[in-house]
Structure 1
Amino acid sequence: MFLQINIRGIQTCPAKCFLSFSLSWFIAQFSFTLPPFLPSRVCLTFAMLLHYLWLCIFSWSSILSFDLVKSLNACSKTLKREFKNNSLFVKYCIVGWGLPLLIVGLSNVLEISLSTFTLQYGARNICWIGNSDALLLAYILPASTFLFFNMICLAVSLHGLEIAKRNSRNLQKTRKDRQRWLMYLQMFFLCGGCWIFAYVANNVSLLWMHTLNLILNGSQGVFILIMTTRDSKVKRWIRIKMKCLEPDNSNTSQSNSGGGTISTKL
């Protein structure tokens, strides 16, 4: 997030969306470290919060996919004008933060209304959804829907990139769009692949799968950092900052030559 704010800026809509995605991912990952320090009576509320936060990750990933398709639609002038408008990001926020809230709310309404449906938040002192059937309906199904939507958007945007490559004279812009598409593709495979593996690992009693699951899902932030630092702007910013940290050799040489002159005079 620090790199996104200081290098890419948050003045463009895609950068704001990616920052919101990173923010939801950071809060969700950080929240996973808190349950051992929380009293058991708070676990139910905290499990509901985690349910909401992890759905926010998938909803913002779908918004990034949709925004990528929309930004590559060079034929629509209306979308271009809306793309520069801050009201578009407000609409994205309503969907990105509001849709997961709606899913969590409906899940709790179903739990109250139907005796056969129970989420079991905080069951067995685990701050998560305790019922496997409810987990499938209230979390895995919405997350899978988001991921399926992402794949459709990425396929459509790839088709748009190929058309833009043939018709556009600005090859530099097309190359940047392709780099952005590849970064989103890696991010979405990371987001979906890790959770698919986590679901399999939790239903299989194999120690090595549980260990690998902890490593993969615990290192997702590192993977996002690696993908972010592959950007040319990020690399250039890091090089500039590293040069600023290096000692000034010219001043050092001047001071040494000055000292040598003084010693010679003495």
Structure 2
Amino acid sequence: MSPKATRSLGLALAISAAATSVHAQDKGSVHLAYVEWSSTVASTNVVRAVLEQAGYEVETSALSAAAMWQSVASGDADALLAGWLPTTHEDYYARLQDQLVDAGVNLDGTKLGLAVPADSEVNSIDELNEHADQFNGEIIGIDPGAGLMRLTEEVVDAYELDLDLRTGSGATMTAALGSAIDRGEPIVVTTWTPHWMFARWDLKYLEDPQGVYGGAEQIHTIVRQGLEEDMPEAYAILENFEWTTEMMGEVMLMNQEDDTDPYENAQKWVEDNQDVVKEWLGEA
């Protein structure tokens, strides 16, 4: 190729890149709020990568569950991908629903409950009192504001458990679980599906004869009022976003690898699953 042709090609590529950049900037920025649960980290980063593929700039903010919901209700954030309904986030939704828009279900097949190592002799919540000493008289919980914790408090009352519910976070719960399993010690934790812990360790849910935890839940995409009018294409992508527990599990497992970045993992998953992504983009 001649020097002149090379310069022409370079100029054309530069113009094209500049046009793409301007096009992306013209679409604006989408702000996603999330809570640092492994499932939500996976979904938020995947949606970020998809929105960026569509030409949007994307900002993300890690918040507590309560602050995440409030940020979307107030319009400080545009959307959240972690609306566990009808139970886990029932309190937040009931209080803020008039300031929000439910853009639909993005994942089916969730579950809440108490889990123990699979080799535990305990199989049901109503057996816990007999073995309370094994568990140091405690249930390892997560964020104090989570609906799962409120339900577990009801479980403690309903089954008259002689175990204290310890608050913490998703990260402290899994750390305690991993340490107990490494030492071969009994432990009972509050948990949910989908979660990477079930792929890493051999666990089982305790039966709930009284049905306090209820049935399966769904994870909803919740957006601020006015988003559909302000950014109809971005809203459509958020509304179209729906995946399976298996898909989410792939990303969550990638995120558990050492020295790995959830955003880079999401970009790779999006690149490898363009058939699904095109459906979310409305191109299929």
TM-score by length of 2: 0.27
1 or 2, which has the higher strand percentage?
2
The structure with the larger Rg is: 1
| Larger RCO of the pair (alpha carbons < 8 Å, separation 6+) | 2
